[in-house]
């Protein structure tokens, strides 16, 4: 892995919001932006910034369905695979995410 790519990955992993996004994707498999926005209660531009950082680091994959963009983990990223045990650690995120849903048929419990 080249140095710049490695820098992007560690930058992405250095933020609590981005770590929590990765944790949610690990737990739920795939989530759309509206579901993530419910959890964080932050503005759409702020959330989009965090998701862009994760995409630039190739930690997540995207799939577009209509106007919704769905995110999932990129298990092909070797740094992500090595750090998954730390990301899924129970003591990392103590707060509950509750039920995640969108205006469309996507419901996550």
- Per-residue pLDDT, 108: 46
The DSSP result for 51-79, as a single string, is: HHHHHHTT-EEEEEETTEEEEEE-TT-HH
- Per-residue pLDDT, 102: 54
CATH T-level fold of 3-90? Arc Repressor Mutant, subunit A (1.10.10)
For residue range 41-80, list pLDDT tens digits in order: 888 899 999 999 999 999 999 999 998 899 999 999 999 9
Annotated domain spans of the chain: 3-90
Q: Does pLDDT of 109 surpass 50?
A: no
Given a contact cutoff of 8 angstroms between Cβ atoms, the answer to whether 73 and 26 are in contact is yes
């Amino acid at each position: 892995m080249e140095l710049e790519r490695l820098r992007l990955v560690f930058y992405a992993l250095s933020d609590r919001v981005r770590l929590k996004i990765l944790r949610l994707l690990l737990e739920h498999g795939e989530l759309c932006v509206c579901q993530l926005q419910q959890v964080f209660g932050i503005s759409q531009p702020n959330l989009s910034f965090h998701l862009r950082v994760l995409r630039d680091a190739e930690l997540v994959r995207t799939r577009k369905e209509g106007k919704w963009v769905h995110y999932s983990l990129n298990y092909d990223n070797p740094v992500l695979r090595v750090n998954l045990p730390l990301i899924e650690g129970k003591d990392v995120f103590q707060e509950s995410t509750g039920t995640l849903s969108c205006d469309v048929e996507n419901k996550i419990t």
